[in-house]
């Protein structure tokens, strides 16, 4: 994907609404788009798209509608954010509004009174209207998008009948040629808490699509389009790492801060600190979500419990609905959790009152905790979690620059026998000593050393070709042998296996790890205390 220079107006404001169809900043989240496009092509289909607010639903819906046009279908979009409170006064009022708006969007005169008959009821009248006045007039399928259908949940007096009607239409589409031309897309941001019989709910039929947050690779792709790697240089990797730990790939929050980078000279860490301030790019989002719940004691009490519950809580549906509706929580398995680390920090400060620590103090404390989470307790070098994150970032950069990337796996020879002969305390000391030598020899940025597991260590060497990797590996091997021989403990040797990648085509980080592991065991098979490095073509 080429790097697109971002328009200045977008950089100044950040993403304030759906991203246009030609936006360079729309990031696909496979298989989301492919799944949605295939769903609307099926006769009589019902697609349910669920995601919290500002996770990209509106941008996706724009593309679903455009895809429907390309498939030759007619489209309509009913957005319940446009519905006035009076529209929910009765089922009859709601269904007439729904039919009138759909007809207008299709360019068909509404003529509701020709089909409405109070003696047969609103649901039957609405069904006859859709079948005979709308669907039979069309010579193509109709993809009808119903956005923010969760607003209907708030009106229990009409919700059950309206939602069961949508279920009935979908079932008609399984047997009636006319109704097969109706393809429904329901978009909502909360779990369904309206009490419905299983056979009446539209939320247990059709296909469900939950919009996920960005992955690390997708955040890196977006950062590249904002030219962040060029702007930050060596600070780019820790910046992306910290951004992911704060917002967990939340699309809006990620866009908002990345849009600031090309337009500021601030230190990356300062940029994140500023974003969390009341006047920062995240401040308004946080205040808006909190303002809608701060005067409701039951919601505040629930948030206080969630802040202290790392594994989440089971919540009453009416409370979960309100918190999920403003994006503060998300449903995970059978529990609700705070949506991201940023929300937790914000709530800790808000709920603690005026004596709460300042956001920067919280940032520093969280940085300390995060460092502990990414550090191996025994050797005090980065652990497997930190390795996985750093390798993914290095892989993404390699794919952009086409510069070689080397991964070396290092294993202490005969370590089990060492433990058996000298004891586990001596084994621990040996691991610490080897880790220290590795860090001294290979731990200068952008190189990266981590404990991979047991007696195995990993070394990531960006911008390192095969010849250079072989020389550095031989130096490392000899230094381990030399330096461990000078201590009080018995000396050890290491075997090294490495793989060099120069293009991501038909390869992945997993294949790189597997290749390095494979040649590591080739080094061991050939007698240990040796180096084997290969190039992946």
Residues carrying an active site annotation: 455
Whether the link from the prior residue into 31 is cis, omega within 30° of 0, is yes
3-state helix/strand/coil string of 436-466 = HHHHHHHCCCCCEEEEEECCEEEEEEECCCH
**How many CB atoms are located within 10 Å of the residue 226 CB?**
25
Reading the block at residue 101, the tokens are: 């708006």
**Alpha carbon distances (Å) from 408 to 280, 392, 462, 477, 500:** 41, 15, 11, 12, 9
String of b and e for 110-140 (b: at least 16 CB within 10 Å)?
bebeebbeeeeebbebbbebbbebbbeeeee
Reading the block at residue 110, the tokens are: 């509404």
3-state secondary structure of 182: strand
Helix and strand tally (H, E) in the chain?
23, 12
**Alpha carbon distances (Å) from 120 to 99, 102, 164, 266, 522:** 17, 22, 17, 67, 79
Whether the link from the prior residue into 526 is cis, omega within 30° of 0, is no
The H or E element that residue 183 is part of is strand 182-188
Distance (Å, rounded) from C-alpha 492 to C-alpha 418? 9
**Alpha carbon distances (Å) from 318 to 48, 92, 101, 153, 361:** 21, 26, 30, 10, 34
Residue spans of beta strands (DSSP E) within 490-530: 494-501
């Amino acid at each position: 994907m080429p790097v697109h220079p971002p328009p200045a107006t977008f950089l100044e404001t950040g993403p304030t609404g759906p991203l246009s169809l030609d936006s360079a900043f729309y990031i696909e989240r496979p298989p989301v788009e492919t799944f949605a496009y295939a769903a609307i092509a099926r006769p009589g289909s019902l697609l349910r798209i669920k995601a919290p607010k500002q996770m990209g639903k509106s941008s996706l819906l724009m593309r679903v509608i455009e895809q429907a046009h390309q498939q030759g279908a007619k489209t309509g979009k009913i957005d319940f954010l446009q519905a006035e409170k009076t529209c929910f006064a009765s089922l009859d009022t709601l269904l007439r509004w729904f039919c009138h708006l759909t007809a207008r969007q299709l360019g068909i005169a509404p003529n509701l009174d020709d089909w409405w008959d109070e003696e047969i009821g609103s649901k039957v009248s609405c069904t006859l209207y859709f079948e005979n006045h709308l669907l039979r007039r069309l010579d193509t399928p109709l993809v009808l998008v119903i956005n923010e259908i969760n607003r209907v949940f708030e009106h229990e007096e009409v919700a059950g009948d309206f939602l069961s009607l949508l279920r009935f239409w979908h079932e008609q589409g399984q047997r009636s040629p006319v109704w097969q031309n109706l393809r429904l897309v329901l978009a909502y941001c909360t779990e369904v808490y309206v009490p419905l019989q299983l056979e009446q709910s539209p939320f247990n039929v059709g296909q469900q699509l939950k919009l996920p947050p960005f992955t690390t690779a997708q955040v890196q792709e977006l950062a590249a389009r904002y030219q962040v790697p060029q702007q930050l240089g060596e600070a780019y990797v820790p910046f992306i790492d910290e951004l992911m730990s704060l917002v967990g790939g939340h699309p809006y929050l990620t866009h908002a801060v990345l849009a600031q980078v090309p337009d500021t000279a601030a230190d990356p860490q300062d940029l994140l600190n500023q974003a969390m301030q009341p006047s920062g790019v995240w401040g308004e989002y946080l205040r808006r979500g909190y303002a809608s719940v701060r005067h409701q004691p039951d919601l505040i009490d629930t948030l206080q419990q969630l802040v202290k519950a790392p594994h989440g809580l089971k919540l009453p549906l009416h409370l979960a609905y309100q918190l999920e509706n403003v994006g503060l929580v998300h449903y995970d398995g059978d529990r609700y959790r705070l949506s991201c680390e940023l929300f937790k920090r914000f709530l800790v400060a808000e709920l603690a009152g005026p004596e709460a620590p300042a956001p920067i103090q919280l940032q520093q404390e969280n940085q300390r905790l995060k460092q502990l989470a990414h550090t191996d307790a025994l050797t005090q070098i980065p652990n497997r979690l930190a390795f996985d994150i750093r390798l993914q970032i290095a892989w993404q950069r390699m794919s952009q620059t086409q510069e070689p990337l080397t991964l070396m796996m290092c294993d202490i020879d005969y370590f089990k026998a060492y433990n058996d002969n000298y004891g586990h305390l001596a084994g621990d000391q040996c691991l610490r000593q080897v880790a220290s030598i590795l860090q001294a020899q290979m731990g200068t940025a952008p190189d990266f050393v981590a404990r991979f597991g047991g007696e195995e260590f990993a070394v990531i060497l960006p911008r390192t070709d095969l010849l250079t990797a072989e020389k550095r590996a031989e130096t490392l091997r000899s230094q381990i042998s030399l330096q461990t021989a000078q201590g009080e403990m018995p000396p050890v040797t290491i075997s090294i296996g490495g793989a060099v990648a120069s293009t991501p085509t038909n390869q992945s980080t997993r294949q790189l790890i597997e290749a390095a592991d494979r040649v590591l065991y080739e080094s061991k098979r050939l007698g240990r205390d040796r180096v084997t490095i290969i190039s992946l073509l």
